[in-house]
């Protein structure tokens, strides 16, 4: 008989052979929201068991009646009354906005005898595509971003109608073909209709055509210009159609697109940032569609490789602080740290609270960089006292909760009030709010590793709310809640229906979120998290420089005419609109427009504003607004910081005279910024 000691040894040996189960990811307390929409109205039943997108390019399709349009390049698409309509939009430019013409259906596709009261069902979706089914009509639409064709699959023999809000000038088969038809409208557009099986096109009236009972594929495309070569390109690629498209995050500097297709060579359109980053493309330089984001150019291939320039993920400044400035910075740090303990914030807002946390975290890193280590224990105590109640659920008046319906974090305040915490409870601005918390947590984990390990599960729950790569990473959260892998920047609008689609105001706060996530990866030695955060931060920066930063004379070739003349930065960028105003201020508040695209000031800000020439343009444009009545020092600090890139002494003099600072900013941070300017960052 084995001794008891031998049994124990055998048991230990046996248990060592059995892999330990991975612990379930941490979740904040589950709560039922009273304000969120019911996703079962539009999502197919098999999709409801997983977290659902809350900031997607097709979000309007699953909110309210599902009948507001979305911009799926190059078309604006609307679903209503058992039909799908598309328009090839035009754009107008003035001094305050770039606008898309109001939606007017160029073509509407529907089953001739369909039930007009039916609505679509989202049966599949991915980063680059969404599939809409109309069950009562036998129609399925593969909406893939960037394709010049709209693809409809008729899965049972059905008579299909095509109507228009315009007048049909002519409709005919192409050279006797019964699989290609040419439709000319009185708005000077020419549309091509392709079918996978022979059929007849019948004139019903001056605005409606019908395809005799048909099954298989119908594809429609507008001819983008009068050049006959464009129609030949569409003819050549008409038989290959994409079913879906996925984006794959390879590493810290590679993103790939993979399109699932049927047929031969695939034609998809690339926007200007794609063209800047593509590394393996066959480009049809003369085949172009217009868009609000710039010309869309034809790309041949179902696999794209995109390689943004990597960014430095550093805790401290890239070039270092000038030695002769260290004494001044240390004095400012000691005053700012003393103020931490002498003032008590009453805010319960997840946004403003997060900014206070991140502000203190900045002080810790600046102190570390200038060897002012004696203040770090006080900052550590402040950070742990501020952060822990939110992670433990002990904060009075607010806190984090988990919403199972859509799969994400909400707050106690916003669970029943859609306006609380700037709409956090309807998934607005998640990356902004949580990015500040993640930054503070990462810094605290750096200076206190034991604390960091204790709260690591909660930290990952926060970061994965907006930076989850998919079900394999964490099954409780949607994939990349805010980041759009086709546009390559974030959206902030959440579960709110907007006629102009998704929107985002502050690119710099979006950059902060992904940069903070990369720092969290660094502190927890999680190479994958660091790489993902770094990649998305790099993409967000390049998108901001292309679409939010407006250079003089239209140098970036995106904005022309009056808008480019009067604006150096976009206020709110919408899917189909560019606005000079902000959510909280008019277009005249240029100081706020500059500030909201720069805050918070961090080492990564050096990359976001690496172009000194543009920094000068932006500051010179905004400075006159600093004299407006009511403009506070809080906003002026950001303008002076940017001025410090090219006129250090004058900026430093102005910064030293400031009496007040933004919630997430401080004199220490501004002095650190000015005294760490290097000649070039990248």
183 alpha-carbon distance from chain centroid: 37
Count Cα neighbours of 380 within 13 Å in the Cβ-side half-sphere. Answer: 14
- Do 140 and 134 contact (CB within 8 A), yes or no? yes
Strands 139-144 and 129-134 turn out to be antiparallel
**pLDDT for residue 344:** 64
Q: Which residues pair with 158 in a beta bridge?
A: 214
Exactly one of 293, 336, 403, 509 is catalytic; name it.
509
Nearest to 426 by CA among 130, 34, 27, 29: 34
SS3 for 313-381, per residue? CCCCCCCCCCHHHHHHHHHHHHHHHHHHHHCCCCCCCHHHHHHHHHHHHHHHHHHHHCCCHHHHHHHHH
Q: Which residues pair with 503 in a beta bridge?
A: 574
- Residue recorded with tokens 């109309």: 134
Whether 505 is catalytic:
yes
Q: Which residues pair with 87 in a beta bridge?
A: 76
Packing angle between helix 456-467 and helix 507-523, nearest 10 degrees? Answer: 140
At 143 the three-state DSSP class reads strand
Domains for the chain: give ranges and CATH numbers. Answer: 30-306 (2.70.98.30), 323-676 (1.50.10)
- Do 335 and 667 contact (CB within 8 A), yes or no? yes
Ranges of the chain whose pLDDT falls below 50 = 1-20, 679-682
Helix runs in 1-103, H state only: 4-17
Helix runs in 484-554, H state only: 507-523, 527-543
- Assigned token pair, 176: 């006797």
The C-alpha atoms of residue 598 and residue 135 are separated, in whole angstroms, by: 48
Q: Which residues pair with 577 in a beta bridge?
A: 99, 574
- Residue recorded with tokens 């980053």: 277
Number of residues in the chain? 682
- DSSP code at position 677: -
Measured CA to CA in angstroms, residue 288 lies from 57, 70, 268, 297, 477 at distances of 22, 21, 11, 5, 37
List phi, psi (to 5°) of 401: -130, 170
Whether 429 is catalytic:
yes
Measured CA to CA in angstroms, residue 432 lies from 365, 439, 463 at distances of 21, 11, 11
pLDDT tens-place string over residues 472-518: 889 999 999 999 999 999 999 999 999 999 999 999 999 999 999 99
**pLDDT for residue 281:** 86
Q: Which residues pair with 508 in a beta bridge?
A: none
At 466 the three-state DSSP class reads helix
- Do 432 and 358 contact (CB within 8 A), yes or no? no
**pLDDT for residue 342:** 65
Measured CA to CA in angstroms, residue 548 lies from 199, 542, 569, 607 at distances of 47, 10, 6, 15
Burial of 536 (0-12, 13-18, 19+ CB in 10 A): buried
**pLDDT for residue 302:** 97
Exactly one of 403, 421, 505, 526 is catalytic; name it.
505
List phi, psi (to 5°) of 573: -100, 120
Whether 265 is catalytic:
no
The C-alpha atoms of residue 289 and residue 298 are separated, in whole angstroms, by: 8
- Do 532 and 249 contact (CB within 8 A), yes or no? yes
Nearest to 151 by CA among 66, 283, 267, 319: 267
Nearest to 268 by CA among 237, 232, 236: 237
Q: Which residues pair with 549 in a beta bridge?
A: 569
218 alpha-carbon distance from chain centroid: 32
- Neighbouring CB atoms inside 10 A of 369's CB total 18
**pLDDT for residue 615:** 97
The C-alpha atoms of residue 652 and residue 641 are separated, in whole angstroms, by: 8
Q: Which residues contact 326 (CB under 8 A, 6 or more apart)?
A: 370, 371
Exactly one of 127, 293, 336, 429 is catalytic; name it.
429
pLDDT tens-place string over residues 139-189: 999 999 999 999 999 999 999 999 999 999 999 999 778 999 999 999 999
The C-alpha atoms of residue 596 and residue 133 are separated, in whole angstroms, by: 40
Q: What is the DSSP string of 221-261?
A: EE--SS-HHHHHHHHHHTT-EEEEEEEEEEETTEEEEEEEE
Burial of 96 (0-12, 13-18, 19+ CB in 10 A): middle
């Amino acid at each position: 008989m084995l001794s008891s000691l031998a049994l124990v040894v055998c048991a230990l040996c046996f248990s060592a052979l059995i892999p330990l189960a991975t612990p379930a990811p941490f979740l904040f307390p589950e709560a039922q929201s009273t304000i969120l929409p019911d996703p079962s109205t539009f999502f197919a039943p098999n999709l409801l068991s997983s977290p659902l997108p809350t900031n997607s390019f097709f979000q309007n399709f699953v909110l309210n009646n599902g009948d507001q349009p979305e911009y799926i390049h190059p078309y604006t698409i609307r679903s209503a009354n058992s039909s799908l309509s598309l328009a090839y939009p035009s754009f107008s430019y003035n001094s305050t906005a770039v606008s898309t013409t109001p939606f007017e259906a160029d073509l509407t596709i529907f089953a001739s005898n369909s039930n007009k009261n039916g609505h679509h069902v989202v049966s599949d979706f991915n980063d680059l595509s969404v599939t809409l089914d109309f069950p009562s009509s036998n129609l399925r639409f593969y909406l893939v971003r960037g394709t010049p064709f709209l693809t409809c699959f008729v899965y049972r023999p059905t008579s299909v109608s095509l109507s228009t809000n315009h007048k049909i000038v002519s409709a005919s088969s192409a050279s006797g073909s019964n699989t290609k038809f040419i439709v000319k409208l009185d708005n000077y557009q020419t549309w091509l209709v392709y079918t996978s099986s022979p059929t007849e096109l019948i004139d019903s009236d001056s605005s409606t055509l019908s395809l005799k009972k048909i099954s298989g594929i119908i594809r429609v495309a507008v001819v983008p210009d009068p050049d006959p070569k464009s129609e030949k390109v569409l003819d050549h690629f008409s038989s290959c159609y994409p079913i879906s498209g996925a984006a794959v995050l390879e590493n810290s500097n590679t993103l790939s697109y993979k399109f699932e297709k049927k047929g031969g060579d695939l034609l998809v359109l690339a926007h200007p940032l794609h063209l800047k980053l593509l590394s393996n493309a066959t480009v049809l330089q003369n085949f172009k569609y217009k868009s609000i984001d710039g010309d869309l150019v034809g790309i041949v291939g179902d696999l794209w490789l995109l390689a943004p320039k990597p960014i430095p993920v550093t805790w401290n400044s890239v070039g270092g602080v000038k030695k002769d400035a260290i004494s001044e910075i240390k004095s400012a740090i000691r005053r700012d740290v003393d103020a931490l303990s002498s003032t008590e914030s009453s805010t319960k807002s997840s946004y403003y609270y997060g900014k206070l946390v991140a502000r203190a975290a900045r002080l810790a890193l600046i102190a570390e960089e200038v060897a002012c280590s004696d203040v770090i224990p006080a900052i550590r105590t402040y950070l742990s006292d501020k952060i822990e109640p939110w992670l433990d659920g002990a904060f009075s008046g607010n806190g984090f909760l988990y919403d199972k319906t859509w799969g994400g974090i909400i707050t106690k305040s916003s669970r029943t009030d859609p306006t609380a915490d700037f709409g956090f409870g309807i998934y607005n601005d998640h990356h902004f709010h949580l990015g500040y918390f993640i930054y503070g947590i990462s810094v605290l984990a750096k200076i206190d590793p034991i604390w960091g390990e204790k709260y690591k599960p909660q930290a990952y729950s926060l970061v994965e709310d907006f930076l989850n790569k998919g079900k394999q990473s964490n099954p409780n959260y949607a994939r990349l809640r805010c980041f759009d892998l086709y546009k390559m920047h974030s959206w902030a609008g959440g579960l709110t229906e907007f006629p102009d689609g998704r929107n985002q105001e502050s690119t710099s706060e979006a950059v902060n979120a992904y940069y903070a996530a990369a720092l969290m990866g660094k502190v927890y030695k999680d190479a994958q998290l660091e790489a993902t955060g770094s990649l998305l931060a790099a993409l967000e920066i390049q998108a901001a420089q292309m679409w939010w930063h407006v250079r003089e004379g239209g140098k970036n070739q995106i904005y022309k005419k009056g808008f480019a003349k009067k604006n150096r930065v976009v206020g709110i960028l919408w899917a189909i609109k560019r606005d000079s105003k902000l959510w909280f201020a008019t277009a005249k508040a240029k100081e706020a427009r500059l500030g909201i695209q720069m805050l918070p000031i961090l080492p990564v800000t050096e990359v976001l504003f690496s172009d000194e020439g543009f920094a000068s343009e932006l500051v010179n444009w905004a400075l006159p607004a600093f004299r407006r009545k009511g403009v506070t020092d809080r906003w002026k600090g950001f303008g002076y910081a940017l001025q410090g890139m090219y006129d250090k002494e004058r900026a430093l003099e102005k910064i030293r005279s400031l009496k007040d600072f933004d919630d997430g900013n401080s004199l220490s941070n501004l002095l650190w910024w000015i005294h760490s300017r290097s000649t070039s960052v990248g």
